[in-house]
């Protein structure tokens, strides 16, 4: 981990740079796979499953028997944990529902807005080095609450053609029955374009590696909506002398173990915090099963000493982290200064893992600085906001002159006449 002390503001862009990779060759290879999926459908999906996942798939869709076997095989304690997380996530996302309200902008002119579910959505759930069944809860629950008519889930199988039982159990708990054993780029292509087996969807959600991310961006250019631009996972921790260094180190490592391209950032105003956290990272790293992955991520991670909390918050807002932990005595006050972040965790007892799994907030969040303009997934991600209006005869007569004047000024005579004809005919 690299240490920076009191960096000049001119050096911040370089200090806050994420790991960068050249995507030119990646886009070419991913684009070719997508085109093959678009042309040959299921046959292409099977070809790439064999090539990349080393599995010969006879049937692409998970059967009812496989769902039943997964439920029976899963550890009861894990089932209970999933159900607890499900309850909390449902509670938080149901509270995001909005009641429609009619606004009368002037007498006789009524406007309102209604949330309408996206009819078909696709969820991608990685299943490689870590089967992310928690993401099914984060995406499937708001999709169901929103009222999406059709939810399609794609996830890779193992070499024996089996999907991890926790993934199937979680899918069944949130009411997803269409689960397909398809991973990687071929999964994104199948949901984007449709195949003989997989339905075409209107919006695709879910995390993935650089290939999946590239595929999502490319199908987005073809008119398929995606949840957000995404990149490697990241966490920033703001800590003062009141922090518990062991907790901070654990939070940094919990993000670093996602992948070698993940990034962690510690910002502090206390020099002693840096040395204490470094020591804890070294100790805890040796105990991790994924220590090699975490160690590689730590190579491009940073520890930054800042002169005061205002400067520290300015630096963090410039970074716009996916996850921001504020382990400070004034955490509530400092939270008011957060402008750019995907999700914020306050105090010494709010690990980022809580949001990843079970507190209730969504863990599908903008990365790579996109938190400057994007929000994390919420109920709103699964709906469209459609506006409505109704004008009475009297309402149009009152607002008509303003419309006519503006249309005439823009040189749009048909727009003006659409109003004036109605007013004339009603006189």
Write out pLDDT tens, residues 129-138. Answer: 678 999 999 9
pLDDT, residue 232, reads: 84
Note whether 2-19+232-360 and 24-226 share their fold: yes
Can you tell me the mean pLDDT for 29-46? 96
Position 19 pLDDT exceeds 80: no
Q: Please count the residues of the chain.
A: 427
- Could you tell me the pLDDT band of residue 426, with boundaries at 50, 70 and 90? low
Position 316 pLDDT exceeds 90: yes
Residue 36 marked ligand-binding = no
Position 128 pLDDT exceeds 80: no
CATH tag for 2-19+232-360 (out of 3.40.50.2300, 3.40.50.1980, 3.40.50.970, 1.10.3720.10): 3.40.50.1980
pLDDT per position as a tens digit, 60-92: 999 999 999 999 999 999 999 999 999 999 999
Residue 258 marked ligand-binding = yes
Domains of the chain, residue spans:
2-19+232-360, 24-226, 392-425
Query: Does 322 participate in catalysis according to the annotation?
Result: yes
Residue 263 marked ligand-binding = no
Contact status, residue 295 vs residue 259, Cβ threshold 8 Å: no
pLDDT, residue 229, reads: 80
Lowest mean pLDDT among 49-58, 141-150, 330-339: 49-58
pLDDT per position as a tens digit, 209-218: 889 999 999 9
Residue 415 marked ligand-binding = yes
Which tokens is 275 given? 């040395």
d(CA 25, CA 272): 44
Can you tell me the mean pLDDT for 95-120? 95
CA count, 13 A, side-chain hemisphere, 293? 15
Position 23 pLDDT exceeds 80: no
pLDDT per position as a tens digit, 246-290: 999 999 999 999 888 899 999 999 999 999 999 999 999 999 999
Percent residues over pLDDT 90 in the chain: 89
- Mention the CATH class of domain 24-226: alpha beta
Query: Does 234 participate in catalysis according to the annotation?
Result: no
Radius of gyration of the chain (CA): 25
Position 21 pLDDT exceeds 80: no
Helices 42-52 and 184-193: crossing angle, nearest 10°? 170
Contact status, residue 91 vs residue 360, Cβ threshold 8 Å: yes
Residue 363 marked ligand-binding = no
How far apart, in Å, are the Cα atoms of 317 and each of 117, 239, 298, 336, 356?
33, 15, 21, 12, 21
Contact status, residue 365 vs residue 340, Cβ threshold 8 Å: no
pTM for the whole structure: 0.93
**Which of the following is catalytic: 66, 257, 280, 322?**
322
Contact status, residue 320 vs residue 344, Cβ threshold 8 Å: no
Can you tell me the mean pLDDT for 174-199? 96
Full DSSP string of 346-385 = ESTT--HHHHHHTSSS------TTGGGT-PPP-GGGGEEE
Residue 310 marked ligand-binding = no
d(CA 211, CA 185): 6
**Which of the following is catalytic: 323, 352, 363, 370?**
323
Specify which residues 303 forms β-bridges with: 3, 266
Residue 378 marked ligand-binding = no
């Amino acid at each position: 981990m690299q240490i920076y002390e009191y960096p000049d503001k001119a050096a911040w862009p370089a200090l806050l740079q994420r790991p960068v990779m050249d995507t030119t060759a990646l886009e070419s290879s991913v684009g070719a796979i997508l085109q093959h999926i678009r042309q040959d459908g299921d046959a292409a999906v099977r070809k790439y499953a064999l090539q990349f996942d080393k599995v010969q798939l006879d049937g692409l869709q998970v059967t009812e028997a496989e769902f039943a076997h997964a439920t029976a095989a899963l550890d009861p304690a894990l089932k209970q944990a999933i159900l607890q997380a499900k309850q909390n996530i449902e509670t938080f996302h149901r509270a995001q529902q909005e009641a429609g309200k009619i606004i009368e902008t002037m007498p006789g002119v009524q406007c309102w807005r209604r949330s309408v579910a996206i009819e078909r959505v696709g969820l991608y759930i990685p299943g490689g080095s870590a089967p992310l069944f928690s993401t099914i809860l984060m995406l499937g629950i708001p999709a169901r609450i929103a009222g999406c008519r059709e939810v399609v889930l794609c996830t890779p199988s193992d070499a024996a053609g089996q999907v991890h039982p926790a993934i199937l159990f979680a899918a069944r708990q949130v009411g997803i029955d269409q689960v397909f054993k398809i991973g990687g780029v071929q999964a994104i292509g199948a949901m984007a374009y449709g195949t003989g087996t997989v339905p075409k969807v209107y919006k695709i959600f879910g995390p993935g590696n650089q290939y999946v991310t590239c595929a999502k961006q490319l199908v987005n250019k073809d008119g398929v909506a995606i949840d957000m631009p995404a990149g490697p996972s990241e966490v920033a921790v703001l800590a003062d002398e009141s922090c518990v260094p062991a907790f901070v180190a654990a939070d940094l490592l919990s993000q670093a173990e996602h992948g070698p391209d993940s990034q962690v950032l510690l910002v502090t105003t206390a020099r002693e915090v840096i040395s204490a956290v470094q020591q804890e990272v070294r100790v805890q790293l040796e105990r991790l099963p994924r220590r090699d992955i975490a160690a590689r991520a730590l190579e491009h991670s940073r520890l930054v000493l800042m002169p005061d909390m205002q400067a520290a918050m300015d630096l963090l807002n410039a970074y716009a982290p996916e996850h921001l932990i504020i382990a400070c005595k004034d955490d509530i006050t400092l939270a008011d200064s957060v402008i750019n972040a995907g999700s914020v965790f306050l105090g010494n007892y709010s690990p980022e893992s809580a949001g990843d799994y079970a507190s209730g907030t969504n863990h599908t969040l903008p990365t790579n600085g996109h938190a400057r303009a994007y929000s994390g997934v919420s109920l709103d991600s699964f709906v469209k906001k459609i506006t409505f209006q109704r004008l009475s005869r009297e309402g149009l007569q009152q607002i008509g002159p303003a419309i006519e004047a503006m249309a005439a000024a823009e040189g749009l005579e048909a727009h003006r006449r659409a109003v004036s004809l109605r007013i004339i005919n009603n006189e």
